[in-house]
């Protein structure tokens, strides 16, 4: 892709995201979402592979439908209440439509069908944008309207997302699809606590972005797309593979890594809200996700199939160290000791 064109698309992406997260009016928020959708499409289809074109088409149709539903819900609310302010979403039908539309934007169950296919057809760098930056505007809309959303509906969608995200990721061999189902599972954790403590949803999202960025950038550096490729990469970049192992275990939520912090705080808050059964259920369902994280981590360690090479390391060009990956990896694994400070902020 032409560097100038790529710069324009990335700038448009940042513009759309900023427009949505800073707006108070539904029309400007919708316009920001549309700018986002149109700017990411060329980045998805830049390889011109049929799978990439298919992924871009699926993404466009799904996001256009979700944006239309958001516009429809805001217009319905304005018709009944006269309010276009995002925080004044009070009409019950409008709130229901908005919840469904934002869930479709994010890829939550039962509107998850598009996300694994789109991520599988996209390059790893675009997949990183889809999994992180593109989720900022919908999460912001949920945060601004949390007082109007139905807690029962959100809890049901959250438990279904955690269950299906873990279950569907079990038999996958493509790394991008595994990360897509991982994202769906994490969305379940964010949604279940939204109505009770929206700041915890933001904390979970920020830490999810941190850990997912580490994994995606590491995979992009090692050019890994399948589990079979991941098995042999330790001979080329052993230090990166060690960081990938820790980042995956952190995504799984194992102590003493960073990923344990949001799960711990969410379970604690659910228990305070007399939702111990929901906390127990979502904790048990996250064991499904733990299985495929451990599978990825196992492949990232020194587990090679039988081979006949006489040297331990394959020939490869020396690659300069990446400071960004190093910083993200440290943050993805070592933030738990400062959890008292983080919990006071959120």
Q: Which residues contact 150 (CB under 8 A, 6 or more apart)?
A: 95, 96, 99
Residues across the chain: 346
> Which of 92, 118, 143 represents a domain boundary (last residue)?
143
Share of the chain above pLDDT 90, in %: 66
Residue 202 in any domain: the answer is yes
**Does residue 114 sit in the same domain as residue 156?**
no
**Tokens standing for 56?**
């871009």
Candidates 170, 212, 169, 208; CA nearest to 187 is: 208
pLDDT of 311 above 50: no
291 and 192 share one domain: yes
Q: Verify that 179 and 127 share a domain, yes or no.
A: no
**Same domain (yes/no): 209, 138:** no
Mean pLDDT to the nearest integer, 255-284: 93
Question: Who contacts 229 (Cβ-Cβ below 8 Å, separation ≥6)?
Answer: 223
Which domain range does residue 80 map to? 1-143
Name the pLDDT band for 307 (thresholds 50, 70, 90).
low
Instruction: Tell whether 180 is covered by a domain.
Output: yes
Residue 149 and residue 95: Cα distance in Å, rounded? 6
pLDDT digit string (tens) for 191-249? 999 999 999 999 999 999 999 999 999 999 988 888 888 887 877 788 888 888 999 99
Nearest to 130 by CA among 43, 51, 215, 197: 43
Q: How far is it, in rounded angstroms, from Cα 221 to Cα 236?
A: 11
Model confidence at 122, in pLDDT bands (50, 70, 90)? very high
Kindly state whether residue 312 falls inside one of the protein's structural domains.
no
Domain boundary among 100, 124, 143: 143
Q: Where are the alpha helices (DSSP H) in the chain?
A: 3-22, 26-44, 50-81, 92-106, 114-120, 124-131, 136-144, 151-168, 175-194, 198-222, 227-232, 238-252, 260-272, 276-300, 323-333, 339-345
Contacts (Cβ under 8 Å, ≥6 apart) of 288: 163, 165, 166, 167, 169, 170, 185
Structural domain contains residue 230: yes
Query: Whole-prediction pTM value?
Result: 0.91
Residues 335 and 189 in one domain: yes
Q: In terms of domains, do 134 and 175 share one? A: no
State how many domains the chain has: 2
Residue 64 lies in a domain: yes
311 in a structural domain: no
Domain boundary among 143, 161, 178: 143
Give bridge partners of residue 226 from the DSSP assignment: 174
Comparing 270 with 233, which gets the higher pLDDT?
A: 270
168 within a domain of the structure (yes/no): yes
Residue 198 structure tokens: 């929206």
Are 31 and 106 found together in one domain? yes
């Amino acid at each position: 892709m032409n560097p100038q064109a790529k710069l324009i698309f990335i700038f448009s992406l940042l513009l759309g995201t900023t427009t949505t997260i800073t707006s108070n009016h539904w029309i400007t928020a919708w316009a920001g979402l549309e700018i986002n959708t149109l700017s990411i499409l060329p980045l998805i289809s830049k390889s011109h592979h049929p799978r990439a074109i298919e992924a871009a088409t699926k993404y466009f149709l799904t996001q256009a439908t979700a944006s239309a539903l958001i516009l429809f819900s805001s217009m319905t609310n304005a018709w009944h209440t006269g309010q276009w302010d995002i925080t004044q979403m009070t009409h019950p039908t409008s709130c229901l439509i908005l919840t469904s539309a934002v869930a479709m934007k994010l890829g939550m169950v039962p509107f998850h069908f598009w996300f694994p296919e789109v991520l599988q057809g996209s390059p790893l760098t675009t997949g990183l944008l889809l999994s992180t930056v593109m989720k900022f505007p919908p999460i912001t809309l949920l945060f601004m309207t949390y007082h109007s959303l139905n807690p029962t509906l959100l809890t049901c969608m959250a438990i279904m997302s955690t269950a299906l995200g873990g279950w569907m990721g079990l038999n996958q061999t493509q790394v991008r699809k595994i990360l897509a189902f991982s994202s769906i599972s994490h969305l379940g954790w964010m949604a279940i606590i939204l109505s009770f403590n929206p700041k915890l949803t933001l904390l979970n999202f920020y830490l999810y972005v941190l850990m997912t960025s580490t994994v995606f950038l590491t995979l992009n550096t090692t050019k890994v797309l399948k589990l079979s490729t991941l098995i042999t990469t330790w001979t080329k970049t052993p230090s990166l593979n060690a960081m990938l192992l820790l980042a995956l275990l952190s995504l799984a939520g194992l102590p003493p890594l960073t990923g344990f912090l949001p799960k711990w705080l969410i379970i604690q808050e659910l228990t305070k809200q007399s939702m111990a059964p929901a906390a127990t259920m979502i904790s048990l369902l996250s064991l499904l996700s733990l299985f495929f994280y451990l599978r990825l981590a196992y492949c990232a360690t020194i587990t090679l199939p039988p081979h006949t090479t006489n040297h331990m390391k394959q020939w490869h060009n020396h690659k300069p160290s990446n400071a960004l990956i190093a910083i993200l990896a440290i943050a993805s694994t070592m933030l738990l000791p400062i959890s008292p400070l983080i919990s006071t902020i959120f």
